[in-house]
Amino acid sequence: MSDPDVPKSALELVMERLRKKDAESGVEAHHLTDDQKAAIAEARSVYAERAAAMLPVERDEVQSRPGLQHRHFDMANELPELLRHPRRARSAT
């Protein structure tokens, strides 16, 4: 699967350990079908659009209520980046 000379990442090591533990416990891996993957992609798309549509409402609410400004400021500013690059934005926090 990967080059044996390249060291494995921590994630790869953990996943390998979990697969081994599952195999020892008799747990079988179930892979998603193409239809299931398509349904998940569609759901993500729909909810990303809804979240993006809510962003202006959230900003208006935060600006109108000073007590919310500090608590919601980071979320309101980071949401567009999270929607564009979910893995990069999540790892940066």
**Average pLDDT over all residues of the chain:** 76
pLDDT of residue 80: 67
pLDDT of residue 29: 83
Instruction: State pTM to two decimals.
Output: 0.41
Distance CA 89, CA 81 (A): 6
Which of 76, 83, 46 is closest to 58 using CA atoms? 76
pLDDT of residue 89: 46
Q: Tell me which residues of the chain have a pLDDT lower than 50.
A: 89-90, 92-93
Residue ranges of the domains in the chain?
A: 10-92
